[in-house]
């Protein structure tokens, strides 16, 4: 049966989630934390210091991506260049993934720098990818389309991770100068696969998804970057006038910090307490497998109880995961917690994206999604930094994982105060020239 143009556009958009999820799943969450701790930062003593170094690297990467998001949202809106910037940042992320294969024992500084570039590429591309969402589907389908994108990401990320696990199991381990053995060759080939996968499956989006119109009237012959700078503080002021959207951003600031910290620190933490790398990577593959149907179920759940209540359900489960992580002692415990993460991770993030998108004015989607990314990435600084600090202070990262309870509880309480219907109404019918005054 011949596909309609709309279906082709949506499939191409879904495929980008399929493409870049390889970076998140295989590189960011599963392999690179282990590679960093066991290979690149192996000379660090005591051994828990390697986990702390990774935590500080993750925190600094979030600071860098915050700056990226801060500058680029307004540029895309004014210059009609969402896809062009998406291509540039995809290229940066792909290149960083490929270059990681050139690192080795003791190269923790180079690994950290390439990780910073890769996460900057990923975060920058996400701004422009997410900002396309309000332009490719009707408002009443945004939850469904967003969760399908995340489901596609779980499938793609899971397939790449399964392939990489197979390579790591088949290829021999290598003895390092400290006398320990690590699957160095398998991991380096996996980094190459991640970069190539991301590049290949990004092509349909650039070919089929149309470039949304920009706000050209705001340029008046000026450079888009100059416009971005002049609009920066205005964006912060104006988004506060969308009261419900701003309150949601504050809630997202808290709970996304907890989610991001679990993604970035789980395998490093598991490695620190003695869980084998095959158990760590295998459990994350389980997360991907469970995440596919659960992301779709969260889309249906949102249709029944609303996106806000769906997110709150996910935050309750994340709170239990953080408490369970503090008491974790064995590989079985890690597998159980990974399965719980798979049940809620994709759905919670997808509904957050779609809930925000439903309250965003369409003509400034990239600018506001840049603000959304700023909130998410800036919030991601505190969690990994606290995790790293706890490791140094207590000689273990257990109190770091327990501290994440605060982020989930605080975010949930603030989210309860968001009036979603009022936020959607403001996005649809109020212009930036006729918004009510903020008397708060």
Q: What is the DSSP string of 168-225?
A: HHHSPPEE-TTS-EE-HHHHHHHHHHHHHHHHHTTHHHHHHSPPPP--GGGTTT--HH
CB-based contacts of 328, cutoff 8 Å, min separation 6: 270, 273, 334, 337
CA dist., res. 418 & res. 255, Å (int): 14
Domain count of the chain?
1
CA dist., res. 149 & res. 12, Å (int): 10
- Which conformational region is residue 210 in: left (phi greater than 0), alpha (psi within -120 to 50 degrees), or beta? beta
Q: What is the pLDDT of residue 334?
A: 92
CATH number at residue 403: 1.20.1250.20
Q: What is the pLDDT of residue 433?
A: 46
Q: Are 351 and 295 in contact (CB under 8 A)?
A: no
Q: What is the pLDDT of residue 349?
A: 83
Which residue is it, tokens 């390697």? 50
Give the number of other CB atoms < 10 A from CB of residue 60.
17
CA dist., res. 141 & res. 132, Å (int): 14
What CA–CA distances, in Å, run from 198 to 8, 193, 290, 335, 427?
19, 8, 22, 27, 33
Give the chain's length: 440
Q: Is residue 145 part of a domain?
A: yes
Q: Which two tokens stand for residue 409?
A: 């509880």
Query: Per-residue pLDDT for the chain (440 aa), expressed as one digit of tens each?
Result: 445 578 889 999 999 999 999 998 889 888 998 899 888 888 876 666 777 888 888 888 878 777 776 666 666 666 567 888 899 999 999 999 999 999 989 899 999 999 999 988 998 888 788 878 878 887 777 777 887 887 788 889 889 988 998 998 888 887 777 666 678 899 999 999 999 999 999 999 999 988 887 655 555 556 656 665 666 667 677 777 778 888 998 899 899 989 988 888 888 888 888 888 889 888 888 887 887 788 778 777 777 888 899 999 999 999 999 999 999 989 999 999 999 998 898 888 888 888 888 888 766 676 677 677 666 666 678 888 888 887 778 777 788 888 889 899 999 999 999 988 888 887 776 544 444 444 44
CB-based contacts of 64, cutoff 8 Å, min separation 6: 116, 119, 120
The closest alpha carbon to 292, from 87, 25, 4, 12, belongs to 25
Q: Is residue 437 part of a domain?
A: no
Q: Is residue 217 part of a domain?
A: no
Question: Domain range for residue 398?
Answer: 5-204+227-429
Q: Is residue 358 part of a domain?
A: yes
Q: Which residues of 246-280 are buried (b: 16+ CB within 10 A; e: fewer)?
A: bbbbbbbbbbbbbbbbbbbbbbbbbbbbebebebb
Q: Is residue 170 part of a domain?
A: yes
List alpha helices for 327-364, DSSP H.
331-358
Peptide bond into 46 cis (omega under 30): yes
Q: Is residue 294 part of a domain?
A: yes
Residue 64 burial (CB < 10 Å; 0-12/13-18/19+)?
middle
Q: Is residue 434 part of a domain?
A: no
Q: Are 271 and 38 in contact (CB under 8 A)?
A: yes
């Amino acid at each position: 049966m011949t596909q309609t143009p709309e279906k082709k556009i949506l499939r191409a958009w879904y495929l980008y989630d399929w493409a870049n999820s390889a970076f998140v799943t295989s590189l960011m969450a599963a392999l690179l934390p282990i590679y960093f701790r066991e290979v690149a930062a192996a000379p660090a003593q005591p051994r828990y210091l390697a986990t702390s170094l990774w935590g500080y690297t993750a925190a600094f990467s979030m600071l860098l991506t915050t700056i990226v998001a801060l500058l680029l949202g307004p540029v895309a809106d004014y210059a009609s260049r969402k896809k062009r910037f998406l291509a540039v940042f995809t290229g940066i992320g792909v290149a960083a993934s490929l270059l990681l294969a050139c690192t080795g024992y003791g190269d923790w500084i180079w690994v950290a720098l390439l990780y910073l570039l890769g996460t900057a590429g990923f975060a920058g591309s996400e701004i422009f990818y997410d900002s396309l969402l309000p332009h490719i589907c009707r408002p009443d389908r945004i939850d469904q389309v967003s969760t399908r994108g995340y489901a596609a990401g779980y499938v793609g990320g899971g397939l790449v991770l399964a392939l990489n696990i197979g390579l790591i199991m088949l290829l021999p381990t290598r003895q390092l100068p400290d006398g320990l053995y690590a699957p160095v060759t398998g991991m380096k080939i996996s980094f190459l696969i991640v970069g190539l996968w991301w590049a290949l499956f990004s092509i349909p989006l650039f070919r089929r998804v149309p470039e949304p119109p920009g706000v050209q009237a705001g340029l008046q012959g000026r450079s888009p970057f100059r416009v971005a700078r002049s609009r920066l503080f205005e964006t912060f002021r104006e988004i506060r006038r969308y009261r419900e959207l701003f309150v949601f951003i504050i809630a997202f600031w808290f709970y996304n910090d907890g989610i991001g910290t679990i993604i970035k620190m789980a395998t490093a933490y598991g490695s620190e307490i003695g869980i084998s790398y095959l158990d760590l990577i295998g459990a994350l593959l389980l997360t991907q497998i469970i995440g596919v149907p659960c992301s779709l179920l969260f889309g249906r759940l949102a249709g029944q109880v609303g996106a806000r209540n769906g997110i709150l359900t996910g935050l309750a489960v994340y709170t239990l995961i953080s408490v369970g992580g503090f008491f974790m002692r064995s590989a079985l415990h890690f597998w159980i917690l990974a399965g719980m993460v798979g049940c809620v991770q994709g759905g919670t993030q997808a509904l957050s994206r779609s809930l925000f998108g439903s309250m965003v004015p369409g003509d400034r989607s990239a600018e506001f999604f840049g603000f959304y990314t700023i909130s998410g990435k800036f919030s991601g600084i505190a969690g990994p930094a606290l995790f790293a600090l706890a490791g140094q202070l207590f000689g273990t990262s257990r109190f770091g994982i327990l501290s994440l309870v605060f982020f989930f509880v605080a975010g949930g309480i603030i989210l309860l105060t968001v009036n979603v219907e009022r936020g959607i109404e403001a996005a649809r019918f109020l212009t930036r020239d006729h918004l009510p005054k903020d008397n708060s």
